[in-house]
Structure 1
Amino acid sequence: MKTDEVKNCPECGSIHLVKDYDRGELTCYDCGIVIEDSLIDQGPEWRAFDSEQDGKRSRTGSPMSFLSHDKGLATEISWSNKDYYGKRIPHKNRSQIYRVRKWHQRIRVSNAAERNLALALQVLNEDGAKLGIPKDIKESAALIYRKAVEKNLIRGRSIESIVCASIYASCRMINIPRTLDEISKVSEVNKKKIGKAYRHLAKELALNLQPTTPYSYVSQFCNKLDLDKQVIMDSEHIIRLAGESGLSTGKGPTGIAAAAIYIAAMKNGKQRTQKDVARVSGVTEVTIRNRYKEISKKLGIDDVD
């Protein structure tokens, strides 16, 4: 009988069971019967009284991560010039330790494919940090990139464009979208190249992502414009009315979101110029002005200029 399955004493039916790890026994508190006599303590055999002791005595590393080319499963050699006990390594031994580190780094990347993967994941981490996206999105983007490598979708395309396309796809999957303009700006990769690479990945990897909606961009744009929650709610209300009126059909979601925010901000006395909204949304002032006029006319919103 497995311990995890035991909920009641088979003798008296009591639920008061006691685990004695010193003897390796599971006993009933009420009748004293020994239910299991070979318990295994799943915890560590050592004690730690602070976080420093816990880190030193633990014999497991960090969890597996797709953001490292070896998934974080390789041995790491510290560059701190200190041994396991925290003592400084003597000067006469440092040159030897340096050579060990150097060869260890070379061995970790054994061929051109691993070298390219390591470079790509480094670029992904840097671009992700600049965009301020959380780790789970970067992990998802790294997984998409790895799948692209396995299917040989990188050939004939730059590493940077595929990395940016993976980030864009991952953001859409998690429903925290970033515009192509944002990704292009931080990565210095042409926007058209990123879009082309994304369409290639979406087709070959069968990502089947749903089109983004204006709602997805409202919070992000309002935060950058330092607008409060009321403006966000009013913007979403305007977007909903515009959608019901058919104004969103065939229009870019960022343009609709930008125009709705512009209108809502003016209505709440939080004046933001079309230039400010265009800067954070990545669309032109002309687009915002056109969407604003269409929404105002269709919904009967008074002129807020």
Structure 2
Amino acid sequence: MSSRVCKNCGCRDIDIDQARGDAVCMGCGSVLEDNIIVSEVTFVENSGGGSSAVGQFVSSDGSGKATTLGGVFHGSVGKESRAQTLQNGKRQINNLGHQLQLNQHCLNTAFNFYKMAVSKHLTRGRKTLHVVAACLYLVCRTEGTPHMLLDLSDLLQVNVYVLGKTFLMLARELCINAPAIGRKGFECSK
């Protein structure tokens, strides 16, 4: 209960729920206040790498009653994770691409395919190296380089059928037509 009074019915039984951030009259059900603001929020990193918001709810009636806020905040964690995923993918594309002696255009195209795969959540549940290899092979097929999926399989010591399944899924989901081997010249090799 609160010392507040409902403007609609005059009832003094007001339920203030700090977790939801609202104040509701128990007599008539009117929402008297919502989006109760938080004053002076700071963020503290916890041991798991997440962030916790630390602050106090402040009521608009100026009663001075404030409760602390300490829930876990994950707002920027997703963005950092995505950036880290992209950075890791780019590094692996460059490493594997240099072993295949692909030029920078091919590496950039493979990274663009990888970014598309990440944005469509096609990397979830798959090993990054498999997705990277599939993106590189997709470039090899679209650009007509002399590389086969078996070359990537040998480099990574991964079953060729596993890479093939990932490649076919990427080509289908990204709507990229991968022409048959031998259609174009070898313009992406050094």
Q: TM-score range by the shorter chain?
A: 0.5 to 0.7
Given that 2:110 and 2:135 are in contact with CA atoms closer than 8 Å, whether structure 1 keeps it comes out as yes
The match for 1:202 is 171
Give me the TM-score of the superposition, normalised by structure 1. 0.34
The match for 1:291 is none
Q: Report the residue type matching 2:176 in the other structure.
A: L
Distance 1:177 1:147 in 2: 24
Q: Report the residue type matching 2:126 in the other structure.
A: R
Distance 1:215 1:199 in 2: 20
Distance 2:184 2:148 in 1: 13
What secondary structure is seen at the aligned counterpart in 2 of 1:128? helix
Distance 1:212 1:158 in 2: 25
Distance 2:116 2:184 in 1: 30
Given that 2:143 and 2:184 are in contact with CA atoms closer than 8 Å, whether structure 1 keeps it comes out as no
The match for 2:159 is 190
Distance 1:167 1:173 in 2: 10
What secondary structure is seen at the aligned counterpart in 1 of 2:123? coil
How many correspondences in the alignment?
Answer: 110
Given that 2:144 and 2:182 are in contact with CA atoms closer than 8 Å, whether structure 1 keeps it comes out as no
The alpha carbon displacement at 1:213 in A equals 3.0
The alpha carbon displacement at 1:174 in A equals 1.2
Structure 1 residue runs without a partner (length 5+): 1-109, 221-305
Distance 1:159 1:200 in 2: 14
The match for 2:91 is 122
As a proportion of its length, which structure holds more helix? 1
As a proportion of its length, which structure holds more strand? 2
The match for 1:135 is 104
Structure 2 residue runs without a partner (length 5+): 1-78
Backbone CA RMSD of aligned residues: 2.3
* 1:228-252: CA deviation from partner (whole Å, max 9, x where unpaired): xxxxxxxxxxxxxxxxxxxxxxxxx
* 1:109-153: CA deviation from partner (whole Å, max 9, x where unpaired): x62221121111111111011111111111110000000111111
Distance 1:135 1:215 in 2: 18
* Seq. identity, %: 28
The match for 1:179 is 148
* 1:190-233: CA deviation from partner (whole Å, max 9, x where unpaired): 2111111110011101101221138868xx9xxxxxxxxxxxxx
Give me the TM-score of the superposition, normalised by structure 2. 0.53
Q: Report the residue type matching 2:118 in the other structure.
A: V
Cα distance, 1:135–1:215 mapped onto 2, change above 3 Å: closer
**Which has the higher relative contact order, 1 or 2, with Cα contacts under 8 A spaced 6 or more apart?**
2
